Copies of this chain bind each other. A is one copy, B any other.
Amino acid sequence: MLPETVNPPFRRIQVDDTGRLTHFLTIEGLGREQLIGILDAAKKFVPSPGDSLNKSSALLAGHTVVNLFFEDSTRTRTTFEIAGKRLGAEVISLNTARLSTRKGESVLDTVRTLEAMDTDIFVVRDGASGTAHLIAKHVPADVHIINAGDGRHAHPTQAMLDMFTIREHKGDISKLRFAIVGDILHSRVARSQIHALNTLGAKEVRVIAPATLLPTEIESLGVSALTDLDAGLENIDVVMMLRLQLERMEGQLIPSTQEYFRCYGMTMERLNRAAPEAVVMHPGPMNRGLEIASNVADSERSLILSQVTNGIAVRMAIMAQLVQGGPKGGRQ
């Protein structure tokens, strides 16, 4: 199975003719300058310790952000809500799965209705691939869509906050080797991470998983695929763990959770096989003792809580850029 793609290409939809970002749907098709522009802009939204008054800005004052979550998520929804509020926007969070959809209203009617309430940004999350993309095709030019996760397809703001966190802790991405470990098959995070790492020129990207959780043509994305974690960690600077999505697994993709942890769980012993000072990341929520040992998650080598903190700053930067127009760019 190939990683899912959506037609027509996002490139034409999320970047306008002058090269400005109008939506943020996928990393695919964005240029290095565009990604770097967002990462650099996010720096000014990271609060200094203790500097609580400087957490907020008024860049989006008078603007309305609607969190449209057809699939719920504490972490992602809350960080987008905080990010919008810290930019001075009105933020409305809707879980429309429970509301109009029950009455048979289509997704597009829901969006058009909310759009008619003068919404400037929709943050869209859905269990189906392509929902944010579908919506982006149907909104007027001054309405901006951010993909907060669509099916197995993409989770681009997660990948951006990962890139931000890596640069902050490990420096230049082009000098680092990466391993993405775990349930690649079901992971929209992995797909977005691979595109971001490739665009930012990572030295090497390996994906490591049991064969049942490795999409068959994953190497066409420019990564190497391995099934042996111990061997695969050699020389790796950044280990990006994935959540084992037990709730999405149909059939018997792993023999048992114990067996999974034995072969693919990140332990301190395993982490020591990677490069000296290698770090571990995880998009959360973690299954402790399943894909990651507790002492690894809580160790000084773990960047997991930094990822959360940076998620707010990176999402603020993306929202601000969509509304204000960021630097032009894109893959030429």
- A residues with a Cβ closer than 8 A to B are 47, 50, 52-56, 61-64, 72-75, 78-79, 81-82, 85-86, 90, 92, 94, 96, 98-100, 103-106, 109-110, 112-118, 120, 142, 247, 284-288, 305-306, 308-309, 311-312
Asked whether, in the complex, the Cβ of B308 is within 8 Å of the Cβ of A113, the reply is yes
Contact of A117 among B54, B98, B285, B308 (CB under 8 A): B308
Give the distance in Å from the alpha carbon of A64 to the alpha carbon of B61 in the complex.
Answer: 18
Question: Which of B61, B78, B109 lies in contact with A286, CB distance below 8 A?
Answer: B109
Among candidates B52, B53, B117, B306, residue contacting A116 with C-beta atoms closer than 8 Å: B306
Q: How far is the CB of A35 from chain B (nearest CB, A)?
A: 23
Q: Are B94 and A309 in contact (CB under 8 A)?
A: no
**A94 partner residues in chain B, CB cutoff 8 A:** 74, 78
Complex Cα gap A106–B55 (Å): 28
Docked complex Cα distance between A50 and B323 (Å): 12
Copies assembled? 3
Contact between chains at B62 and A116 (CB < 8 Å) = no
When the two chains form their complex, are residues A120 and B61 in contact, meaning their CB atoms are under 8 A apart?
Answer: no
Cβ-defined contact, B110 with A74, below 8 A: yes
Known: A85-B90, A117-B78. A106 touches B288 (CB 8 A): yes
Q: Are B53 and A73 in contact (CB under 8 A)?
A: no
Residues in B with CB closer than 8 Å to A78 are 92, 94, 114, 117
Q: Are the C-beta atoms of A285 and B100 separated by less than 8 Å?
A: yes
Q: In the assembled complex, how far is the CB of residue A44 from the closest CB belonging to chain B, in whole angstroms?
A: 15
Interface centre among A50, A110, A308 (most CB of B within 10 A): A308
In the assembled complex, the CB of A210 is this many whole angstroms from the nearest CB of chain B, namely 20
Excluding A100-B285, A105-B286, A109-B288, 7 further A-B contacts by CB distance (< 8 Å) are A47-B118, A64-B82, A74-B96, A78-B92, A86-B90, A115-B305, A117-B308
Say yes or no: B74 contacts A82, CB within 8 Å: no
Q: Is the CB–CB distance between A105 and B285 below 8 Å?
A: yes
